[in-house]
Structure 1
């Protein structure tokens, strides 16, 4: 599902967009025997349900004995598989690089083998929609991931056989995920998790706000006026205990800084002027004095009244409200911190409410794989009562106006449709 709105995709500045997206919740259930995988017209990626990593052929090479690994997803052909009936209720799991090769076994280790050889057939037991156990025919051993955590640090590990108990930890549950997201039109009044938000990285670090080495060309106020609805802010203690909290990039001594209260005041002023707007703030939080942070934020006129606190609003139980409901409550500002809650002003720990892919594509944008920023919270993480917001990062180590023009627009849409969306099983917007 994806809304291909090219106009909003082009509303980018001298940095990069991050995106917030929706997930259709699927609750876990008991596995039941099925005659085979769902009828599909083309290949799929097979993705571990608990750590989000994809089944991959080692180095993408088609050669007998190559390891079958779990790997971060990048849409490569070595991560694409299709199914062909074998004997009885068993199937071959065929590579989309060369259909002569299948996922097989060398003892208890998963390897690439010529289809038809010993240990190259599998049976499917359905767990839930598009999620299956893959077991050895007539046996009780299952294709299993060796780790529950995902991310780059757990990528490249060989898959193995495991018991039913090991498989049912989720390590043996496999999503069959389409390679390209289905396009769709969101509802007229979407829930927050169905809405699209253009987000700027280091939104404060701009020419417009006086910074010397900026990521953005326009000031925070101008970004909001031109359509930005999410802002990533780096916040630090002041130089002295009596100094106000500051926004700066890496250091508050060189390159410029700005008072945190002033930046938040820009957002509050904008929301008071535009009653239809909803804004989300993501704080890269280096503040040690949590009480000071709470008091400074509470002192900003109008801020507390506008904050939507997902804990107070019981989102974990009832799900996210629609945008019209947020407007009706006049609770149109969400604030997340990567450090901890600041409950006095409704700031919530981000990793409890979102999933987020790793922040950089590298210096030359060569790393297009989409994987979690937090190993213990895969992009595919599901909750029983609500859908986590998906923050999709799309920027380099040091973005500039020139590289932003390259990395956004069609490049952003392509990565969202073909890599990050399938990797998260959610629609990046």
Structure 2
């Protein structure tokens, strides 16, 4: 038997540690032959053809040369850009570039790894396509590690019918969500002039509930020892609506309608003790409050909607604060009284599509940066995906147009960006748009993504 040099053996061992391999007995997956996004495992960013170079970009559907088609050729595969003729992924030294598909350096070894990831390597060498941690930075060749692991995310995911009502899980369902639900001009004052002229919603909380809204984004501030709802600031806002008032509306609605489920997302500026006191004043809240942190959900996964209904657990509350920020402020952890730290349980795309008028930016990427990309997932626990679809300023005609495009963005931009279907669709003025946001939610609730993609 011919012995291999020690350097080669050491390099191979190091690479085996750096790039997780398939489990023993696990069959290697076939390289897909359809359009995919070359999406980095560590950052969630996509490899985009950019004028002869290849850069890591925020996922942007079909608008940014981010779609590639793997094609089997002698010695491996080419990755051909889906919307540019005769443009292939190539290499020049340690840089990833694009070149004509007949050029040298366009053949790659694409190998299946753990957790549905792949490596894209130089044939016969220990060099691998390696991503970057920031948008617009160059994609390079490197020796391994998580930045050298990629998803071949389908441009169009295969789907399966939504499971039956008694078996579907919470993380398989999509809920209509109102952005700044309290800023509606119907329930009370929410902002000082001129922000008060631009309500995000037209209808009050009770009407939203009756119309089918099942998740609410609320901004709470501490004023005179209680949590109240204001937009940007409570300065100059007379008689803002107390958080407890809107929560009471939701609890009363849920108690009258067993089986319904509501989620609250707090943009949370109140100290823990103020928030805790406000929640304690809501009659019946603890009866319906769902505590996944006390049920091992982070280890075993989300329960079925039928199980939640049978136990009367109908309300989930998240805060956008972090555990570390509360600790640094000397405040009690919010999950000690049932308010969960959202970043531990969800992923969420960046909230703005741009200004109130003009063109919109449909990029779909994490509001919390590449340290917690939308693609975060595990075999047992699937973070809930909050998809924001609104702009900096609520302008009526723009909202109506944007809401009519919600299904397109959800299916063709944000689902592949997160590798999961949105669980919450957050919009302004949910009652406008064609198809309406509620209709879009209904469409998403007819299917789940097929496993193994």
Residue 259 in structure 1 maps to residue 239 in structure 2 = no
- How far apart are the structure 2 equivalents of 1:294 and 1:134? 50
Q: Which residue of 2 aligns with 1:392?
A: 387
Change (3 A) 1:343 1:307: same
Q: Which residue of 2 aligns with 1:270?
A: 253
Q: Which residue of 2 aligns with 1:12?
A: none
Residue 371 in structure 1 maps to residue 365 in structure 2 = yes
- How far apart are the structure 2 equivalents of 1:77 and 1:372? 18
- How far apart are the structure 1 equivalents of 2:118 and 2:354? 34
Change (3 A) 1:36 1:161: farther
Report deviation, 1:67: 1.4
Q: Where in structure 2 are the equivalents of 1:19-30 lying within 5 Å? A: 30=21
The SS at the match of 1:245 is: strand
Q: Which residue of 1 aligns with 2:172?
A: 194
Q: TM-score, normalised by structure 1?
A: 0.84
Change (3 A) 1:39 1:293: closer
State the aligned residue count.
379
The SS at the match of 1:417 is: helix
- How far apart are the structure 2 equivalents of 1:383 and 1:131? 13
- The structure 2 residue matched to 1:427, chosen from 414, 421, 443, is 421
Deviations 1:340-359 (CA, angstroms, capped at 9, x unpaired): 44134311100000000000
Q: Which residue of 1 aligns with 2:137?
A: 157
Q: Which runs of 4+ in 1 moved over 6 A?
A: 32-36
Change (3 A) 1:31 1:120: farther
Q: Where in structure 2 are the equivalents of 1:267-416 lying within 5 Å? A: 267-287=250-270, 289-340=271-322, 341-363=333-355, 364=357, 365-375=359-369, 376-409=371-404, 411-416=405-410
Q: Which residue of 2 aligns with 1:171?
A: 147
Q: Which residue of 2 aligns with 1:117?
A: 103
- How far apart are the structure 1 equivalents of 2:54 and 2:162? 38
**Contact 2:116 2:151 (8 Å CA) reproduced:** yes
Deviations 1:41-91 (CA, angstroms, capped at 9, x unpaired): x32111111111111011xx4xxxx21011011112611111223322x22
- How far apart are the structure 1 equivalents of 2:419 and 2:99? 29
* Greater relative CO (CA pairs within 8 A, separation 6+): 1
Report deviation, 1:29: 5.3
**Contact 1:307 1:345 (8 Å CA) reproduced:** no
Q: TM-score, normalised by structure 2?
A: 0.79
Residue 38 in structure 1 maps to residue 31 in structure 2 = yes
Structure 2, unaligned runs of 5 or more: 1-18, 190-195, 323-332, 423-443, 445-453
The SS at the match of 1:311 is: helix
**Contact 2:169 2:304 (8 Å CA) reproduced:** yes
Structure 1, unaligned runs of 5 or more: 1-27, 148-153
Change (3 A) 1:35 1:424: closer
**Contact 1:37 1:83 (8 Å CA) reproduced:** no
RMSD: 2.1
- How far apart are the structure 2 equivalents of 1:424 and 1:202? 23
Change (3 A) 1:343 1:77: closer
Report deviation, 1:417: 1.0
The SS at the match of 1:270 is: helix
Report deviation, 1:179: 1.1
**Contact 1:36 1:123 (8 Å CA) reproduced:** no
Q: Which residue of 2 aligns with 1:227?
A: 212
- How far apart are the structure 2 equivalents of 1:52 and 1:344? 32
Report deviation, 1:94: 1.2
